[in-house]
Copies of this chain bind each other. A is one copy, B any other.
Amino acid sequence: MAQAFLENDSQEFVENARKEIEATRPTARNLFYAVEKVFAAGLQSTTKAVAKAEAIAAKDAEDSFAIGNFGNELIRAGFNIATHCNAGWLAFVDYGTALSPVYRAHEEGKDPFVYADETRPRGQGARLTAWELNNAGIRHAIIPDNATAHLMSQGKIDLMIVGADRIAANGDVANKIGTLEKAVAARYFNIPFFVAAPLSTFDRSCSTGKEIPIEYRAEEEVLYQSGPDEDGNHQKILVSSPGSGAVNPAFDITPAALVSGIITEKGIIYSPDKEKIRRINS
């Protein structure tokens, strides 16, 4: 958004840029939050737009670090931690949300092991989370999304931490498709299920998760897969039966009742509800 102001600060251009950015994703709250703030600053001056963007990035890094510190308290030495999708520093600034407690625990020598759900259809866990963890030297394994409940049933997962794209006023959590399924499994096997997210992820205009729009994406994401072949050439292959279609909801809503706690930059909201969320936000 700040880049748009730098390029051309005419009303028409920046309004179109704002629409274009917002149209990329209907579900994530932080996107709208940041675009709105930078847009408002830019209407005063381009310098202010850039300053606001930089301030948001700095605040994001600071919040992620605080989330890491609070979440780290949940992690005991040698814990096996499951996560879904990517909520590390590739998705945020510097530390990330769901992975930030893992990074802090690793720094403190707790030697955590992470099961990264591959997160079909886009594979953010297999591609991004695994890449982050590998670079950080944190022990981990990619697992098929289908294997999460099995590992829970075998006592191989001590804690699950995921991120959030948007959180309703009552604590219902919109996050990457499959999060709901993992939360239900975690509850069944009595495994603590935490959501890590800065307070800017909360959307008080949505009283419950039912009001959060769920993005449905192209069926091609399910029917095809892309990646490098052994010569490093990018290939797109069909991984399904020709002629069949797919349904591809990109997010789901995990009811607050299934969330052990939400790890924010101001502390952990255990058994989240409307009143506790209102209090921490004020």
Interface of chain A residues 120 through 150 with chain B (CB within 8 A)? 120-121, 123, 126-128, 130-131, 133-134, 140-150
Size category of the binding interface on chain A: 35 or more
A93 to chain B, nearest CB (A): 21
Contact B141 A244 (CB under 8 A): yes
Give every chain B residue within 8 A of A39 (Cβ-Cβ). Answer: none
Residues 158-197 of chain A, each 1 if its beta carbon lies under 8 Å from chain B, else 0: 0000000000000000001110110011011000000000
Contact A153 B120 (CB under 8 A): no
A6 at the interface (CB under 8 A from B): no
Contact A147 B235 (CB under 8 A): no
A279 at the interface (CB under 8 A from B): no
The CA-CA distance from A253 to B153 in the complex, in Å, is 9
Contact A177 B247 (CB under 8 A): no
Contact A240 B127 (CB under 8 A): yes
- 27 contacts across the A-B interface (CB closer than 8 A): A116-B244, A118-B120, A118-B240, A120-B145, A126-B222, A126-B223, A126-B239, A130-B241, A130-B244, A133-B244, A140-B244, A141-B246, A142-B241, A142-B244, A142-B245, A143-B247, A146-B176, A147-B177, A147-B178, A147-B248, A147-B252, A149-B180, A149-B181, A150-B180, A150-B214, A228-B237, A229-B235
A interface with B by C-beta (< 8 Å): 115-116, 118-121, 123, 126-128, 130-131, 133-134, 140-151, 153, 176-178, 180-181, 184-185, 187-188, 214, 222-223, 225-230, 235-241, 243-249, 252-253
